Every structure is written in structure tokens, then in C-alpha cells.
Structure 1
Amino acid sequence: MKRILLQLDSDSHPSSFDAVTAIDGGVDQLLPYGNVSAVNVVSLVQGAMFTRSPKDLHNTAIFLGGSNVEAGESLMKRIQEQFFGPIRVSVMMDSNGCNTTASAAVIYSQSHMKLEKAQAVVLGGTGPVGRRVARLLALQGSRVRVVSRQLERAQQVCRTIDGKTGLFEPAALNDEVPIDDLIADAEIIVAAGAAGVEFCKLENLRKFKKLQVVIDLNAVSPLGIEGIESSDKARKVDHLICYGAVGVGGLKMRLHHQMISKLFESNDQIFDTNAIFEAGLKLL
């Protein structure tokens, strides 16, 4: 029986990146759908659920993509509402590559330093990837400073992720608060801002002796941290270990391929941020 993957995308055109990755992950038949909403997703999911017997449903799965991560999260919830008893299929949510990218960044960080009680700074921490990096770092026991241009946005994200542990600190980067004040005590910095936003220079970071790992997840020039190269993969600059987007991307792609394959192991799996991260830990 063929392994069928429904690629559900909130954008008009389903992502070619996600389609190629799905095929490379071992999918026999890819069914891509664009403009998927909370309304029309119901019939798509029911079509996947009711066309095969329960014992064969592990051969059908759903991948949620698209550039709008909030839409992806809403669709994830709506899809799960359709399941009952053994009538269900496995689902992976990775809109805008948010979960696989964040997981790869934190896994690489953990390979170089102990994250428990470490001071982390996530620049651009209110974006889809940044907030997942922040959450995963906190789950490893790091204290996480979530940095945004607007303090209100940083505060909102910290409350949304977890307002009770005390591991999250919102902060604003603006003309009144220089970057040095926000990173002086950092042991790890992850830049996850929008394309074209430069936060700081690698040359300046070399003076911070507590800093160990620097990761820039922006692949589009100008990068978030000037002096980082996209291809950097554990490049040493004095005492700093540096990663660029392409350097992180190798693990991200391996993880993406593996999760697509794992979707077909059973029909009851939900691959969200935490599940994808846990799977990625086994790849290094």
C-alpha cells in the first residue's frame, strides 16, 4: 500500500521546499493543497481518515506547512478535533520550518555547552522560529532573554510560552537600550530575526568572555550577526563557536526527512515542537 502524504498549506501555492523534502523523506504519493483554512480543512482530513481501514491508516499522514505559523497552529488543533477512536492519522506541523529549524539550533547548542542554568539571549525572539528556540532552551533549563524591537511584543511572547517558570525575561532593543546591555551576561546567543535585520557584529561579541555559542539563523544578506557566514558550522572565532543558517540547515533537513518517514510508523502520532526536538536529539 502506498504511503500518502497530504501537504496542507495556508498559502496560495503549496511550498515547493516542503514538497521536495516530503518526496526525499520517502513519500510515495504527495497530495498538495493550498489556501487551506479552518473551514475547508475538515473535508480534507475526513477524506484522509475514511478512505482506508484503521489497520491501514498508518499509510496516510498529514504535513502542515505554509509561511503563517499561527495559521498552522490553528489548523493543527482543528485537524485533531476530527479524530476519534482508531480513526485518525499522524500529523506533523512545521510551518515556515519553525520547529525543525529551532530544534536543530538548540541541539547544536547543547552539543557544545551545558544549557541548564545557562543565560541565553534570543534576538528576534518574538518571531515563529525565535519563540520556539526560546521555549526549547527553557525546557533544557536555560534562562532566556527574549529580545524584540517592542517590549510589549516580547512580554506577550514570554507570557504565551510560559508565564510561570521565571525562566523568561522580555527585553527591547532600541535606541535607548544598546545591544551590549542585553548580551553582556549571555552564554549563548541565537539570532532569529526577519530577513535583512542586523542586530550586531561578531567582532563586538568577541569581547564577551562568558559567551560560548553564537548562532545566526538568517540565510539572507545582511545576516543578523555581521561576521557570521551562512555556512559556518562550529567555526571557532577566539573563544566563540559560530553557526550560520546553512550550517544549522544540514541537521534541520536530516530531521525533517526523518520526521516525514516516522509519520508512517503508526497512525496516532502528533509531531509538534517538543516531539520534533526529542527526535532530533537522537541524530547527533
Structure 2
Amino acid sequence: MARKHILHMLTPLKQMSPFDVNMALDAGFDAVVPYVGVTLGEVTGLVQDAIFSRPPDAGVNTGIFIAGKDVSLALDMFDAAKKAMVPPFEISVFADPAGSFTTAAAMVAKVEKALEKKFSRGLKDARIVVFGATGVVGFCTAVIAAKEGAKVTLAGHDGAERVGKIAAEIASRFQVDVSPADGSTADKKAVLVQASDVVLSAAKAGIQVLSKAELKDAGNLLVAADVNAVPPAGIEGLAVNADSAALEGMNGVGIGALAIGNVKYKTEFGLFQKMIGSKKPVAFDFQDAFSLAREIAK
């Protein structure tokens, strides 16, 4: 009898996201078991319960999913899960807190594709400003883009202090440099946009980050992308279904939340399927998400 594919889903929050549960089951897992309120110190014990309850050759049929809404904590839990393995007892691990890894991967992949198709250039040395940089998607987007050689600026809606701390954490954890900037007023946001090739909006749903007035003088802008599908749009005038559509009155193009979301969905679904289909245990984080999103983005 074939072994069941079992996924243990860990979150430090009081609830597991129904989105991730549905996604994992639709991707082919036979059983999905949520564990809520999980602390970093509890990860090792849970992982070792999972690995020692099945024979070593069942490692490919067992997985751990790391959720939550804190990127740094999720990565610490991801590392703890990998360190908890006792070869030959090993299982697969996939981290995607609040869907941020796959969403950020999809956003950067779509921007990269637009730059290549529309402007015959890539991410390297592209001047990118991230609005909503204190959130999980903004954080991951900045890291992925910076690792690809982009010159990334984090715009702080409440000043430069909080994004400065995030920039320091990114430098310490990932050894890439991003710059903090004050984006607390319309004039300051306009200046940041004017100095950028790419604008990324990753703020909370339903919050307009940039107005048309703040964009109107952005003569260098090549791509604007927004992950917010809840009205109002994060970038005024950018339709949710825009897919490298021309920006009104500008030379650049826009990418809306649904175009990004389509790649995000396929990326998370695809990584779950890779966990199920792999012949050996795998470990997936935002870098793996970006690699797959690049293959999917058109």
C-alpha cells in the first residue's frame, strides 16, 4: 500500500491560514495537520516527532510547512527544522510566511520579465523603491531584488527609522545592502519615484500608497507593480489585471495584483507538488520560490 503524503503545518499564530491548507491539499497532500501557537523552541521536537514516527524511506512522504507573519521568525524556524534532522531520518521543509516568499518571488519575477521584454534589460543595477517595506512581502521583495543586483531603497511611510532597522537586518542576515528612505509625505514619495526605474507597492490591502500626482513627473519609471487587489489600488490608476500594460501618460508599464497573484498561486502550488514528487527530502525558501516563479512568469 502506498504511503500517505503528510504535511505538518507550523505557525506561531493562533490560526493556520486556510489559503495554505487548501493549497496543500489541492496540490496533492493526503493529510494536512496544522499546529498553532508554535514557538521557535518547539520546532525541533515537532520535527523529530515527525521524522522518527516513520521509517527513513518515508522521509520523502513527510513535510513541514512554516507559516506565520514574521519573516525573520519563519527563517529561524526554517533553520531550526533543518537542523533537527538526524540522517537518515530527514523530511522536506517549505517556508512561506503569510505567502510572502511566493508573493515576493512572483512580483520580482514579473518585474524582471517586463524589464526584459519591454526595455531589454534586467534587474541588475535597476533602481527599485519598495513601498510597504515594513511588511512581510516588502521585506522579501527587497531581499530578492537586492540579491539579483538591484539598487533597492526601502521607503518608510512613517519616516526612515523603522525601514533603517529593516535595512540593517537585511544586511546582517543576507549580506546585501538596501537603503532606507523617508517616504512620509507626498513630496518625499514623489522624489523617490522620480529617482527610480521600478516602483513596488507592497503595503497592506486597501491602502493607496502612490497617487497619480506623485507619479506624474517620474520620467525614468519603467515598471510599477502592486500586490494589492483590494480597492483602492496601492498605485492609483493601476488596474488589478494589468500585465505590463502602459501607464497612462508615461513611458513605463504597470503590473497589477492579479497578474502577480497568478504567478504566486502557481509558485506555491508548484513547490508543494515538488515536495510530493521529490525522490529525496527538499528544503524550499524564498530563493527557491523565486527560481520557480522565474520559470512561470511570462
TM-score, structure 1 normalization: 0.92
Paired residue type of 1:270: A
Greater mean deviation of Cα atoms: 73-82 or 156-165: 156-165
User: How far does the alpha carbon of each residue in 1:3-50 deviate from its partner, in whole angstroms, 9 at most, with x for none?
Assistant: 111112222222111011101211122112222222443332122101
Cα deviation, residue 219, structure 1: 2.2
CA distance in 1: counterparts of 2:70 and 2:153, whole angstroms: 24
Tell whether the 8 Å contact from 2:10 to 2:38 is kept in structure 1 after alignment: yes
The residue aligned with 1:274 is: 287
Match of 1:221 among 204, 208, 231: 231
Distance 1:157 1:117 in 2: 21
CA distance, structure 2, for counterparts of residue 165 and residue 56 of structure 1: 36
Distance 1:177 1:202, change over 3 A: closer
* 3-state SS of paired residue (1:126): coil
Corresponding residue of 2:92? 90
Q: Is the 8 A contact 1:206 1:239 kept in 2?
A: no
User: Counterparts of 2:31 and 2:20 in 1: how far apart (Å)?
Assistant: 14
Residue number in structure 2 paired with 1:161: 170
Q: How does 1:25-104 map to 2 (within 5 A)?
A: 25-104=27-106
Shift of 1:222: 2.5
Q: Secondary structure, in 3 states, of the residue corresponding to 1:211?
A: coil
Question: How big is the shift at 1:175?
Answer: 3.7
Cα pair 2:205 2:228 within 8 Å, conserved: yes
Q: What displacement does 1:243 show?
A: 1.5
Q: Where does residue 118 of structure 2 map in the other structure?
A: none
One-letter code aligned to 1:216: D
- Is residue 273 of structure 2 the alignment partner of residue 261 of structure 1? yes
Which residues of 2 match residues 161-200 of structure 1 at below 5 A? 161-162=170-171, 167-175=177-185, 178-200=188-210
Aligned mates of 1:79, 1:187 — CA distance in 2: 39
- 1:138 paired residue number: 146
1:48-94 CA-to-partner distances (Å, cap 9, x unmatched) read 10122212210101111133434423322332231122212111110
Higher helix share: 2
Equivalent of residue 264 in structure 2, options 252, 257, 281: 252
1:205 partnered with 2:218 = no
Letter in 2 for 1:139: K
Whether the 8 Å CA contact 1:129–1:192 is kept in 2: the answer is yes
AA paired with 2:128? A
Counterpart for residue 136 of structure 2 = 128
Deviation at 1:207, TM superposition (A): 3.3
> What is the RMSD computed on CA atoms of the aligned residues?
2.1
Q: 1:5 to 1:248 in 2, by over 3 A?
A: same
The residue aligned with 2:155 is: 147
1:111, distance to aligned residue in structure 2 (A): 0.5
The count of corresponding residues between Structure 1 and Structure 2 is: 284
SS at match of 2:260: helix
The answer to whether the Cα contact below 8 Å between 2:170 and 2:176 also exists between their aligned partners in 1 is no
- Are the structure 2 counterparts of residues 118 and 150 from structure 1 closer, same or farther at C-alpha, using a change threshold of 3 Å? same
1:206/1:240 contact within 8 Å kept: no
Question: Where is the strand percentage greater, Structure 1 or Structure 2?
Answer: 1
